[in-house]
Chain A
Amino acid sequence: MRARVLIRPKAGILDPQGQTVERALPALGFTGVSRVHVGRLVELDIEDPARLPEMCEQLLSNPLIEDYEIL
């Protein structure tokens, strides 16, 4: 099956990418935007989706600094 894993910075850890995007949007006229965070999406074909959490813990994310969500 096709699986998608969303990885994002843990809440409370400074996210300069999110901050930069947040500051850039008003310059283009997009106002009213706050709490921007930038993460990454991993898509993969997998035979045994039960192994996804293990895969996320060991390689796809670093649990010290990131949260993952299997979509």
Chain B
Amino acid sequence: MRFGVVTFPGSCDDADARAACSLVDDAVALWHGDRDLQGVDAVVIPGGFSYGDHLRVGAIARFSPVMTAIETFAHRGGPVLGICNGFQVLCEAGLLPGALLPNSSLRFAMRQTVVEVQNTLSHWTRACAGGDLLSIPSKHTTGRYYASQPVLDVMEERGQIALRYVSDPIPNGSLAGIAGVSNEAGNVLGLMPHPEHAVDLLTGSADGLRLFESAAHAQAATA
């Protein structure tokens, strides 16, 4: 399969995301100004500071030409992963429920975090088992997940809460310890921790690779 990794002005983890995807299969770069997704099978929106994070994190990136194409791709069931800033962009675009607010500490949090897989319904968690613990680094200032209680209840019921922090204290004050959520169909997943930085034991953990492998498994299952 072929992964496409988006680069916005201000993205900074796009190279690592492409490298992580390449460990699983092919990976190509997608430019924010393009409407053509080059026939990729899955899209990764990486971390960073798209468009300088002006106004609100992810707010401007949402209107870039590539996002129009990604919205269509996602609505047709194409797998889309948003990491950190990519998660924020997907929430702003309405492809995922909720929003990300400044960390309750108001500080940049950077540390290795352990997240527990809550659901394997998503295309991006299928290679995991429920209850699996993944050690993945987090590094962000705006990672406090928020959705209204009725929305959270529905998400919980539908299995859309994909990942929860089990590290204590959690890095950002997210409601219910939420680290990652999916859409109802499961093809779109957003998470604050950075799986692309956890793909080699040399740097402490290869657990992040499981997410990229999941997308490949999901594709193999439907092919």
Contacts and interface: CB of A to CB of B under 8 A. Distances in A.
A13 interface: yes
Nearest to B151: A64
B106 A16 contact: yes
Given A60-B55, A62-B56, A62-B92, A16 B99 contact: no
A65 B59 contact: no
Contact of A17 (B59, B102, B173): B102
B147 A14 contact: no
A64 B99 contact: yes
Contacts, number: 31
Interface string B45-59: 000000000011001
Contacts of A59: 55, 59, 63
Contacts of A64: 98-99, 146-148
The CB with the most chain A CB atoms within 10 A, among B98, B101, B106, is that of B101
B38 interface: no
Interface string B89-102: 00010000011011
Contact of A62 (B59, B106, B147, B148): B59
B167 interface: no
B68 interface: no
B22 interface: no
Contacts of B146: 13, 64-65
A56 to B, nearest CB: 12
Contacts of B144: 14
Contact of B106 (A13, A17, A60, A65): A17
Contacts of A13: 101, 146
A34 interface: no
Interface string B7-25: 0000000000000000000
A16 B144 CA distance: 11
A49 B92 CA distance: 24
Contacts of A62: 56, 59, 92, 99
A38 to B, nearest CB: 10
A17 B107 CA distance: 11
Best-buried of B56, B98, B102, B106 by chain A (most CB within 10 Å): B56
Interface of B: 55-56, 59, 63, 92, 98-99, 101-106, 144, 146-148, 173
19 contacts: A14-B104, A14-B144, A16-B102, A16-B103, A16-B104, A16-B105, A16-B173, A20-B106, A59-B55, A59-B59, A62-B56, A62-B59, A62-B92, A62-B99, A64-B98, A64-B99, A64-B148, A65-B101, A65-B146
A-B pairs with lowest CB-CB distance, top 3: A65-B99, A64-B99, A16-B106
